């Protein structure tokens, strides 16, 4: 497993995301802050202009000298000051040749939204000037600002002023906001990083290391000792420790079963040869002069045949693993006929021949994309289970399903499955659907169906009989045109 680098680690991502989110929060705070700063700047200029205009009232004949007027305008940073008092009295201070205003801003009743727009326009002009390299008087506008006096709302103040000092103050304020934002972001990011690293990242690294070590060597890796945390990390540690114990036990059990299976396969191989020889020799007993020997010989031969069949099924089950398939267009009606001939040739537990009706309801020309040998093997197992359980009639029918699938139904009129057989129906060696069986037939049949991408399922089982459904793939339009003559007869186990 490749180790994560610093750039791709969870810690680095947490640190980066924390900085970005704090900066985003500062940006959201900056917009109303810069709008409020602009309003405060203009209100200070209006308040100073109000005080400067009152000097006119104290001057003889309401006239101030040019020198004092120039000083007052320079102090307030304006070109023209108009103070309109109740009663329409106007006090005015003005430069000799005041410039024309490029824009007029009436602050009376201006909402927060318009304040955002005005502040944004001012900063945009400053940005354009910086890009074009014309920062200075060339980019300076003259604005006229109108509002009620901050000192006396009953009086109105109008000033004409340069916008450049306002923009410079806003830029300076923005730089201070940026510096504070970066500092806050770094401090918050470090605090969050340290906290999350201790609470999440370090425990997650420990869990990851435990998982990697367990994957590499399940038996050699030391067991995980979970902590006492009650949160999700603690739950994950305890569940991982429990899973490790379960997997280790399952692996040890699997190893023992694999060893036992190898030994059983070798024993079965030799035992099958011995039983086959004994079966051949037993058939000669039918020629004995003793009538009692001739009477019991069929049962002896049938018992030996069942023992050989058990050995064959056990060997097949332990050897197959994932079934190798060779799917080809297969005539299902022909396949069912061949299966019926083999099933009806099965010996009963008492040594007699099976006498049952094998009803083939599969329409002629029905094609399926299957491995004929393996599907025939599954059908033989189902048919033998039925007739050996006491059924005297087995019906095979078929139904088309969506998505190019077919469903074969194998139904019999036997006595039905016992409760124990239903509980362990597809479990190898865990139970059998018929007396004397070991439960391999249905397990093998289901493996065959799953290898085809289908499924074997029990439809019903009661006193009236048992029915199994087999899901298999249907031929598409291209493969369906393949001649049925290409179909090869299956060979049983």
Q: Which pLDDT score is estimated for 477?
A: 47
0.85 surpassed by pTM: no
Can you name the residues that pair with 461 across neighbouring β-strands?
466
Residue 465: φ, ψ to 5°: 140, -175
State how far the Cα of 356 lies from the Cα of 390, in Å rounded to an integer: 9
Q: Which pLDDT score is estimated for 7?
A: 58
State how far the Cα of 92 lies from the Cα of 52, in Å rounded to an integer: 10
Q: Which pLDDT score is estimated for 310?
A: 60
Q: Which pLDDT score is estimated for 319?
A: 56
Output the CA torsion 421→454→324→311 (10° steps). Answer: 10
**Regions of the chain with pLDDT less than 70:** 1-11, 61-62, 88, 129-139, 257, 260-261, 265, 268-269, 281, 283-284, 286-287, 296, 299, 301-324, 346-354, 428-440, 476-493
Can you name the residues that pair with 357 across neighbouring β-strands?
393
Q: Is the dihedral of CA 230, 235, 240, 246 positive or negative?
A: positive
Q: Which pLDDT score is estimated for 313?
A: 58
* pLDDT, tens only, 187-240: 877 887 788 778 887 888 888 888 888 888 887 778 778 878 788 888 888 888
Can you name the residues that pair with 328 across neighbouring β-strands?
370
* pLDDT, tens only, 287-332: 677 777 777 677 676 666 666 666 665 666 555 555 567 889 999 9
Q: How many other CB atoms are there within 10 angstroms of residue 440's CB atom?
A: 19
State how far the Cα of 422 lies from the Cα of 314, in Å rounded to an integer: 21
Q: Considering only CA atoms, which of 145, 139, 132 is closest in space to residue 167?
A: 139
Pair 122, 167: CB distance under 8 Å? yes
Q: Considering only CA atoms, which of 441, 446, 341 is closest in space to residue 396?
A: 341
State how far the Cα of 287 lies from the Cα of 289, in Å rounded to an integer: 7
State how far the Cα of 303 lies from the Cα of 309, in Å rounded to an integer: 10
State how far the Cα of 96 lies from the Cα of 116, in Å rounded to an integer: 34
Pair 49, 81: CB distance under 8 Å? yes
Q: Over the chain, what is the mean pLDDT?
A: 79
State how far the Cα of 478 lies from the Cα of 96, in Å rounded to an integer: 99
Residue with tokens 């004409």: 160
Strands 156-162 and 357-360: unpaired
């Amino acid at each position: 497993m490749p180790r994560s680098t610093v750039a791709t680690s969870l810690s680095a991502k947490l640190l980066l995301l924390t900085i970005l989110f704090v900066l985003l929060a500062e940006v959201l705070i900056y917009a109303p802050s810069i709008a409020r700063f602009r309003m405060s700047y203009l209100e200070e200029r209006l308040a100073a202009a109000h005080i400067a205009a009152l000097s006119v009232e104290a001057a003889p004949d309401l006239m101030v000298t040019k020198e004092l007027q120039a000083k007052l305008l320079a102090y307030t940073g304006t070109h023209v000051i108009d103070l309109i008092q109740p009663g329409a009295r106007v006090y005015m201070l003005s430069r000799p040749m005041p410039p024309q205003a490029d824009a007029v801003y009436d602050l009376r009743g201006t909402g927060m939204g318009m304040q955002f727009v005005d502040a944004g326009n001012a900063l945009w002009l400053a940005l354009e000037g910086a890009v074009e390299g014309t920062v200075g008087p060339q980019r300076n506008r003259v604005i006229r600002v109108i509002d009620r006096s901050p000192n006396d709302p009953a009086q109105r103040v109008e000033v004409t002023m340069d916008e450049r000092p306002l923009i410079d103050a806003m830029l300076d304020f923005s730089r201070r906001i940026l510096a504070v934002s970066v500092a806050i972001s770094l401090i918050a990011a470090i605090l969050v990083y340290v906290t999350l690293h201790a609470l999440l990242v370090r425990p997650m690294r420990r869990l990851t290391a435990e998982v990697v070590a367990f994957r590499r060597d399940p038996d050699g890796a030391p067991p995980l000792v979970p902590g006492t945390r009650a949160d999700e990390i603690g739950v994950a540690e305890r569940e991982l420790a429990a899973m490790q114990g379960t997997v280790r036990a399952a692996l040890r059990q699997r190893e023992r079963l694999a060893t036992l299976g190898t030994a059983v396969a070798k024993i079965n191989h030799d035992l099958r040869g011995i039983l086959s020889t004994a079966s051949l020799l037993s058939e000669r007993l039918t020629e004995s002069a003793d009538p009692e020997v001739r009477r019991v010989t069929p049962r002896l031969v049938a018992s030996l045949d069942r023992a050989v069949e058990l050995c064959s099924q056990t060997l097949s089950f332990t050897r197959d693993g994932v079934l190798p398939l060779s799917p080809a267009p297969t005539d299902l009606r022909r396949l069912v006929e061949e299966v019926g001939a083999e099933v009806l040739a099965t010996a009963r537990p008492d040594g007699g021949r099976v006498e049952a009706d094998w009803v083939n309801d599969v329409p002629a020309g029905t094609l399926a994309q299957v491995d004929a040998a393996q599907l025939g093997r599954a059908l033989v197992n189902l048919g033998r289970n039925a007739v050996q359980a006491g059924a005297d009639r087995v019906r095979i029918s078929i139904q088309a399903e969506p998505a190019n699938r077919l469903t074969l139904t194998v139904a019999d009129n036997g006595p039905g499955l016992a409760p124990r057989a239903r509980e362990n129906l597809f479990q190898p060696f865990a139970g059998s659907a018929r007396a004397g069986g070991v439960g391999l037939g249905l397990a093998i049949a289901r493996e065959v169906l799953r290898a085809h991408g289908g499924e074997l399922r029990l439809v019903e089982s009661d006193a009236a009989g048992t029915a199994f459904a087999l899901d298999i793939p249907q031929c598409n339009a291209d493969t369906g045109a393949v001649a049925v003559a290409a179909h090869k007869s299956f060979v049983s186990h």
